[in-house]
């Protein structure tokens, strides 16, 4: 536990280039017991007189600069490279991300550990039907829809998902809405316009840019007939696990970390192929036996990916760092 005198880090505590001369004060208050270890969970690493563990989720800004705004790209690249070089140990969310961090940041693979993300226990509990139905009615949703959850930005590949949905047979689109849950991110203006236009044309496309709380998100997962995740790049892909735990069959991209997270519990498709996405959506909508197998496999996989398990693994990393 942190001492009561612990104060938040400021810009002065960031690891800065040697050309920037700045007096950096310690994080622990005067007279406080020294820290054994500091864990920087968002790549903004601070100067500490103890071992530092840094969490780095991916290398998107340097691996795919086209997906980031120039300002954020420069800032994140600088912060991530500094964190990777200064930390005694790095935690990341998948084995795929290890390869990425080694390639783009030059981190010694021996200094990286995988800690898979997870879900809280309540995700495994079906929400009360009355509360779920009220949330669906509030947003104009009919149970059984295709669902996507994630920020609207280029790497999430929502444009191809929209194309794939619009390519479905009209009878299937009439029966199942496409529900997109996520705030607009960078470089999303054109996509937002396309999503809004589809809804205005009566194409059964619903965009929910903001929800009031996590309970509403849980309700919306519970009402889905299938979860479709066409992302081009993920360091982990937490929405997959949320869908698994919610008892929703999943079709996902076969790119980056997602096959590792799914472990065979989801249908997989090439995220660059609109016909493959359409085929996966059609299959999950029409093959009930496959849907049930995916639901069962997804539940089993989600039970392996909990925050309790992540916490235990993180403590193991701390102990390894301190022992060395």
Q: Give 55-117 as a 3 state SS string.
A: ECCCCHHHHCHHHCCHHHHHHHHHHHHHHHHHCCEEEECCHHHHHHHHHHHCCCHHHEEECCC
Same domain, 101 and 163: no
Same domain, 231 and 164: yes
C-beta separation of 79 from 41 below 8 A: no
Residue 1 maps to a domain? no
Do 203 and 176 meet the contact criterion of CB atoms below 8 Å apart? no
Say whether both 114 and 163 belong to one domain.
no
Look at residue 44 and tell me if it is in a domain.
yes
CATH number for 156? 3.40.50.2000
For residues 198 and 166, the answer to whether their CB atoms sit within 8 Å is: yes
Which pLDDT belongs to residue 14? 45
Rounded Cα distance between 307 and 311, Å, is: 6
The pLDDT score that the predictor gives to residue 80 is 76
The pLDDT value recorded for residue 148 is: 99
CA distance 266 to 319: 35
The reply to whether 227 and 188 lie within a common domain is: yes
In a domain, 114, yes or no: yes
* 285: CB partners within 8 A, 6+ apart: 146, 172, 175, 176, 225, 226
- Look at residues 221, 227, 212, 206 and name the one whose alpha carbon lies nearest to residue 284: 227
Question: To which residue do tokens 């309970």 refer?
Answer: 215
Domain hosting residue 178, numbered range: 121-305
Average pLDDT over residues 27-50: 75
Strand-strand pairing, 52-55 and 38-40: parallel
**Residue from 184, 195, 196 nearest 151 by CA:** 184
| Tokens read off for 279 | 């085929």
Q: Where are the beta strands (DSSP E) in the chain?
A: 38-40, 52-55, 89-92, 112-114, 145-149, 178-181, 205-208, 224-229, 250-253, 267-269
Window from 9-23, 27-41, 107-121, 171-185 with minimum mean pLDDT: 9-23
Phi/psi zone of residue 86: left (φ > 0), alpha (ψ -120 to 50 degrees), beta? alpha
Whether 152 maps to a domain, the answer reads yes
Q: Report how far apart, in Å, the C-alpha atoms of 120 and of each of 194, 230, 237, 306 are.
A: 34, 24, 15, 6
Cα 68 to chain centroid distance, Å, stands at: 16
Kindly state the average pLDDT of the residues 141-159. 97
Kindly state whether residue 3 falls inside one of the protein's structural domains. no
CB count, 10 Å around CB of 33? 8
6 part of a folded domain: no
Residues in the chain: 324
Residues 6+ apart with CB under 8 A from 149: 181, 182, 217, 221, 227, 239, 242, 243
The residues, ordered by sequence, that sit 6+ positions from 268 with a Cβ below 8 Å of its Cβ are 251, 252, 253, 254, 258, 259, 262, 280
Same domain, 26 and 168: no
Average pLDDT over the chain reads 88
Q: Determine, yes or no, domain membership for 31.
A: yes
Q: Domain total for the chain? A: 2
Q: In this structure, are 29 and 176 located in the same domain?
A: no
**Tens digits of residue pLDDT in 235-273:** 999 999 999 999 999 999 999 999 999 999 999 999 999
Domain match, 127 and 266 both? yes
Q: Residue 5 domain-assigned?
A: no
Q: Predicted confidence band at 316 (pLDDT cuts at 50, 70, 90)?
A: very high
Predicted TM-score (pTM) above 0.85: yes
């Amino acid at each position: 536990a942190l001492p009561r005198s612990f104060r938040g880090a400021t810009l002065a505590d960031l690891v800065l280039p040697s050309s920037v001369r700045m007096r950096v004060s310690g994080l622990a208050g005067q007279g406080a017991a020294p820290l054994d270890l500091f864990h920087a969970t968002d790549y903004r690493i601070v100067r500490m007189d103890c071992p530092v563990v840094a969490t780095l989720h991916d290398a998107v800004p340097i691996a795919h600069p086209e997906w980031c705004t120039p300002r954020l790209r420069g800032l994140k690249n600088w912060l991530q490279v500094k964190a990777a070089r200064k930390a005694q140990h790095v935690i990341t969310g998948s084995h795929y991300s290890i390869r990425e961090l080694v390639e783009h940041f030059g981190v010694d693979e021996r200094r990286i550990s995988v800690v898979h993300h997870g879900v809280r226990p309540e995700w495994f509990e079906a929400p009360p039907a009355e509360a779920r139905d009220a949330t669906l009615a509030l947003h104009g949703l009919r149970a059984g829809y295709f669902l996507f959850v994630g920020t609207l930005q280029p790497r999430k590949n929502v444009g191809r998902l929209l194309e794939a949905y619009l390519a479905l047979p009209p009878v299937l689109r009439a029966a199942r809405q496409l529900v997109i849950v996520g705030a607009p991110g960078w470089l999303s203006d054109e996509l937002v316009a396309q999503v809004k236009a589809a809804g205005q044309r009566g194409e059964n496309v619903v965009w929910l840019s903001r929800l009031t709380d996590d309970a509403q998100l849980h309700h919306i997962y519970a009402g889905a007939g299938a979860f479709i995740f066409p992302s081009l790049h993920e360091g982990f892909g937490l929405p997959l696990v949320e869908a698994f735990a919610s008892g929703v069959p999943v079709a996902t991209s076969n790119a980056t970390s997602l096959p590792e997270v799914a472990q065979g519990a989801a249908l997989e498709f090439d995220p660059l192929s609109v016909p493959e996405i359409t085929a996966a959506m059609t299959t999950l909508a029409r093959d009930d036996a496959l849907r049930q197998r995916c639901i069962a496999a997804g539940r089993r996989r989600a039970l392996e990916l909990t925050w309790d398990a992540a916490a235990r693994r993180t403590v193991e990393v701390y102990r390894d760092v301190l022992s060395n």
